[in-house]
Amino acid sequence: MKTFNRTYLVTEISHNGEIYRRNSEISGAMNANNTNINKIASELKLQGRKAILLKCLSAKLKGLTDLHGRPYEPTKWIYTND
């Protein structure tokens, strides 16, 4: 699974001549259930689909810490081809 780091959220990604669109259902389930990203990629591969992981963190939050002193972590989004 290819991983991209961005400071903004995009609706689709073009990679190697294919267009990948944001899959909110898989991304939401992954965040809610703490599912391993490799597990999601293998399940999509069985269906004949490909996936890209996008880590999105605002440029204003880079290098800053939250109230507990931990650095901000990027939001993870899954993009799949149709």
Note whether residue 48 is domain-resident: yes
The verdict on residue 65 lying in a domain is no
- What domain range is 44 assigned to? 2-60+71-80
Domains identified in the chain, total number: 1
Residue 82 binned pLDDT confidence (cut-offs 50, 70, 90): confident
Where is 52: in which H helix or E strand? strand 51-56
Average pLDDT over residues 38-63: 93
> Furthest-apart CA pair in the chain: how many Å?
43
Give a yes or no: residue 21 inside a domain.
Answer: yes
pLDDT confidence of residue 37: 87
Does residue 18 form part of some domain? Answer: yes
Q: What is the pTM of this model?
A: 0.86
Q: The tokens 């703490």 sit on which residue? A: 34
Query: Quick check: is 66 in a domain?
Result: no
Question: Is 33 within a domain?
Answer: yes
pLDDT number for residue 34 = 86
Checking phi first, is residue 17 left (phi over 0); if not, alpha (psi -120 to 50) or beta? left
